[in-house]
Amino acid sequence: MNAPTIRYKKMNGLGNEILVVDLRADRLALTPEMVRAVAAAPRSGFDQMMVLLPPRAQGIDATVRIYNNDGSLSGACGNGARCIAALVMQETGGSAATFETAAGLLNAWDAGDGLITVDMGPPDFNWETIPLAEEFRDTRAIELQIGPIDAPILHSPSALSMGNPHAIFWVDDVEAYDLSKIGPLLENHPVFPERANISLAQVTSREAITLKVWERGAGLTRACGSAACAAAVAAARKKLTERAVTVTLPGGPLRIDWRESDDHVLMTGPWELEYEGAVSVETAAPAA
Ligand SMILES: N[C@H](CCC[C@H](N)C(=O)O)C(=O)O
What is the arithmetic mean of pLDDT over 232-252? 98
Confidence (pLDDT) at 213: 98
Q: Which residue among 35, 130, 224, 249 is best mutated to probe the pocket of ligand 1, counting the most ligand atoms within 8 A of its Cβ?
A: 224
Q: Which atom of ligand 1 is nearest to the CA of 229?
A: 13
Strand partners, 22: 52
* Angle between helix 78-92 and 225-237 (nearest 10): 120
Taking the C-alpha atoms of residue 208 and residue 187, their distance in angstroms, rounded to an integer, is 25
pLDDT at 101 over 60: yes
Q: In the structure, what pLDDT confidence band is assigned to residue 147 with cuts at 50, 70 and 90?
A: confident
Contacts of 70 (CB under 8 A, 6+ apart): 36, 39, 217, 218
Confidence (pLDDT) at 181: 93
Pick the residue with more confidence: 283 or 55?
Answer: 55
Confidence (pLDDT) at 150: 73
Annotated ligand binding at 48? The verdict is yes
Annotated ligand binding at 252? The verdict is no
- Tell me how far the alpha carbon of residue 58 lies from the centroid of ligand 1, in angstroms: 27
Residues with CB under 6 A from ligand 1: 16, 47-48, 68, 74, 76-79, 164, 197, 215-218, 221, 224-226
Give the pTM: 0.94
Question: What residue ranges in the chain does DSSP mark as E strands?
Answer: 5-13, 16-22, 48-53, 62-68, 73-74, 96-101, 104-112, 115-119, 145-146, 154-155, 158-161, 165-170, 197-205, 208-215, 219-220, 244-249, 252-258, 265-269, 272-280
User: Is there a contact between 46 and 19 (Cβ–Cβ < 8 Å)?
Assistant: yes
What is the arithmetic mean of pLDDT over 179-207? 95
Q: Which atom of ligand 1 is nearest to the CA of 79?
A: 12
pLDDT at 155 over 80: yes
Confidence (pLDDT) at 152: 74
The pLDDT tens digits of the residues spanning 67-89 come to 999 999 999 999 999 999 999 99
The pLDDT tens digits of the residues spanning 5-55 come to 999 999 999 999 999 999 999 989 999 999 999 999 999 999 999 999 999
The question of whether 229 is a catalytic residue gets the answer no
Q: Whose CA is nearest to atom 11 of ligand 1?
A: 77
Confidence (pLDDT) at 284: 66
Confidence (pLDDT) at 287: 53
Q: In the structure, what pLDDT confidence band is assigned to residue 2 with cuts at 50, 70 and 90?
A: confident
